[in-house]
Structure 1
């Protein structure tokens, strides 16, 4: 992780075992949000991806611990797109 990037802080699992992790992502358009949604939706265990361009956040709901795999995918997207990526403190 680079300077200014923080470690993940996902929520505790809810009653259905779903963990919510929020990422700050430097998306500037619907193309960015669509790419991020497509990439993260393919991760095993991910149930839902909500990419909000205006808020520059991506909220991932998953079963189990997918935060590291999702971050790897986002970092690869970052390398290819030049956008910024970090975890958002959910506590």
Structure 2
């Protein structure tokens, strides 16, 4: 019984640590958006699944980040999924 409890606690600690490490690691360089999953010529859906770009701009979804990259010729990556912790002044407009 004790071995099972120790194993469960160890598993939980490892799971939490991996989650923290991914967020910290992505903060510097970000992760590449999966732009190949979207037909950018047809536009993007209005589904709100926010992503924060490495430019600290909040995008409503990953497709819109890809569309902005294509239109502006930039390579903004995904800093984290969800709201930006420190939004840029451009996000407020």
Give the TM-score normalised by structure 2. 0.30
More strand by share: 1
Relative contact order, CA 8 A, sep 6+: which one is greater?
A: 1
Instruction: Mark the structure with the bigger radius of gyration.
Output: 2
